[in-house]
Amino acid sequence: MPYTAEISRNNPSLVIFLIDQSRSMGERLGSGDDRRTKAQCVADALNRLLQNLVIKAAKSDGVRDYFWVSAIGYGHPVGSVLSKFPSHNPVPISKIADSPLRLEQRVRSNPDGESQQVKFPVWIDPKNHGWTHMCAAFQLTRDIVQAWARERSRSFPPLIFNLTDGGATDGDPSLPAQDVMSAVTEDGPPLIFNMHISSHNQQSIKFPDSPSGLPEAHAERLFRASSTLPESLVALLQATGEPARSGSRAMVYNADLGSVISLLNIGTSAAHLAGAR
Amino acid sequence: MRIIAHKFKLHKAGNRAEEYEDAMHGGKVMLGGVPHYRFAVADGATESPFSGLWAKILVHALTDGVFDEGMSESDLLTLRRQWEGQIPSSAMPWYMEEKLREGSYAALAGLILVPKQGHPDCGIARLRTVGDCCIFQIRRKGMRSFPLTKSSEFNSRPQLLGTAHRALPPGSLLTREWEWKVGDTFLMMTDALAAWFLQKKESGDPAPWEWFDGAPNSDKEMRWFEEAVESERGEGRLKNDDVTLLKICIAK
């Protein structure tokens, strides 16, 4: 059965983030008192996700390299958004853990309603400059996953999360995305999740199983660039009330930030640690 | 009546032996001049920090009698503070601060054998469990299990005992009383082995407990167990996780 390989230090999982850093990401996404731009919201969400991956892998004796991570921005230029790791090649999670740009002090409410000061690590700063070179980002991704699949053929398939607010300006991204999906491991093809965020009040589309009904051409291209959800993820999404079904694609369009964060969390939970509860 | 206890364990494949996060303990205590026996196994959660330490604290608490009458919040608080006191206090990286804030978690199963007054060869077995560690009673050719009875009941989200200062949800502690007599065997296992054991029974093996009698002699039984578990893992029949078995034979 695909997508069941256990994840361990000997058999780590690869997670790749593709982040739209084009000029339009400087528009405001938040509503009401939340004046954050799309770039700020996305950077915040990814920093939080990286924090969760580090904590998931942390044990008494340090951070175990269950995950390797690559984070590629595409605006101008196209390349790694992890300042301390200028190459786009994957970095083990232990090195990410030890290398945030800074630790911010933030206030968090715990389940009992009490507030506490916590350290929030920041690896990615928001940026918006240039056009939407999504194809170039997928081409870099193709090179990464092909090398990974050659060297780690028994690993859980790579997970790729693409966060964007518009269409690619350098071609049809579904073509290099198909190349990415063809770099299979013994446990199945890579999973590409495409998350389109919008600051306009438009109807969101979640997990479509057909391109018909999608509002515009670049939505259809994103559909073709998205993986079919494995049944295990369909079940997880349905359990959280999401409208996923057999044959759905890993795609949300005109989504709000909450939906994006939810999909990031569920998508990364697809890779279960060996023996983990 | 004599208790013969055999302990078996093997760490997860791919980990070092010192990364084993289960725990087991057992012993005899005299209460009113009458021997009682308490045994416990615990399974520290993989993603938790210092979960092996928490598992050890829990099994010792059970065998010290802390949970004989139930599991009170004040008892748990004492054990939580014990865990906190044993964590290294030097400056920690940001992720360990966060991890410790989440706390450590473990499943626990306890067995307390109390002889019937005036009848040392039989008595009551009190079972205490939180989570998916299992206890099996074998008598002649029959077997019963607690708290799980089917391999399909195991999942990745059992109820666990945690070090974070929160009340244990109602219904977390499960208890049962069985009768025991000389000739019985009790098997206490953490979840990976328990699920494998139940699956073996479900697949048509009428006496899966005989598998544990396969050691050539008592000197070599641990090595035999390790090789047998590695073989089952290799065949995909046993999940790769820490494995713990406490086998308790009640003899005359």
pLDDT in tens, B66-103: 998 888 889 999 999 999 999 987 788 999 998 998 89
Give yes or no for residue A115 having a pLDDT over 90: no
pLDDT at A159: 96
pLDDT at A241: 92
Global pTM value: 0.87
A258 touches chain B (CB under 8 A): no
Helix (H, G, I), strand (E, B) or coil at B152: helix
Residues 77-116, chain A: which have Cβ within 8 Å of B?
97-98, 100, 103, 111-112
Confidence of residue A272 (pLDDT cuts 50, 70, 90): low
Between A201 and A175, whose confidence is greater? A175
Contact A275 B46 (CB under 8 A): yes
pLDDT at A276: 47
Contact B93 A277 (CB under 8 A): no
Give yes or no for residue B105 having a pLDDT over 90: yes
Contacts of A51 in chain B (CB under 8 A): 95, 98
Of the candidates B12, B95, B105, which has its C-beta nearest A97's C-beta? B95
Per-residue pLDDT tens for A79-101? Answer: 999 989 999 999 999 999 999 99
- Nearest C-alpha of chain B: how many angstroms from A219? 36
> Alpha-carbon torsion B174, B178, B181, B187, what sign?
negative
**Chain B interface mutation, best of A53, A60, A94, A106, highest count of B Cβ atoms under 10 Å:** A60
In this prediction, residues B119-139 reach a mean pLDDT of 95
Residue B153, CA atoms < 13 Å, CB-side half-sphere:
16
pLDDT at A274: 42
Mention every residue, 6+ apart, whose C-beta is less than 8 A from residue B223.
none
Percent of chain A whose pLDDT exceeds 90:
71
In this prediction, residues A20-41 reach a mean pLDDT of 88
> Alpha-carbon torsion A3, A4, A10, A16, what sign?
positive
How far from A218 is each of A21, A130, A259, CA to CA, in Å? 17, 18, 20
Of the candidates A51, A272, A275, which has its C-beta nearest B12's C-beta? A275
Give yes or no for residue B118 having a pLDDT over 90: no
Eight-state DSSP code of residue B91: -
**Chain A interface mutation, best of B20, B22, B94, B160, highest count of A Cβ atoms under 10 Å:** B94
Assigned token pair, A26: 């400087």
Mean model confidence pLDDT for chain A: 91
A272 touches chain B (CB under 8 A): yes
Percent of chain B whose pLDDT exceeds 90:
73
Q: How far apart are CA A201 and CA B211, in angstroms?
A: 64
A200 touches chain B (CB under 8 A): no
Give yes or no for residue A275 having a pLDDT over 50: no
Of the candidates A58, A100, A276, which has its C-beta nearest B99's C-beta? A58
- Nearest C-alpha of chain A: how many angstroms from B88? 10
In this prediction, residues A1-25 reach a mean pLDDT of 91
pLDDT at A38: 93
Q: How far apart are CA A129 and CA A142, in angstroms?
A: 24
Of the candidates B12, B98, B158, which has its C-beta nearest A274's C-beta? B12
Of the candidates A61, A112, A275, which has its C-beta nearest B241's C-beta? A275
Per-residue pLDDT tens for A183-232? Answer: 999 999 999 999 999 877 778 999 999 999 899 999 999 999 999 999 98
pLDDT at B23: 98
Cis preceding linkage at B147, omega within 30? yes
In this prediction, residues A149-159 reach a mean pLDDT of 94
In this prediction, residues B189-200 reach a mean pLDDT of 97
Dihedral angle over CA of B162, B163, B167, B172, nearest 10: 20
Give yes or no for residue A8 having a pLDDT over 90: no
Contact B241 A274 (CB under 8 A): yes
- Which amino acid, residue B238? L
Contacts of B46 in chain A (CB under 8 A): 273-277
Q: How far apart are CA A6 and CA B226, in angstroms?
A: 21
Of the candidates A63, A111, A276, which has its C-beta nearest B47's C-beta? A276
Contact B46 A54 (CB under 8 A): no
Between A69 and A106, whose confidence is greater? A69
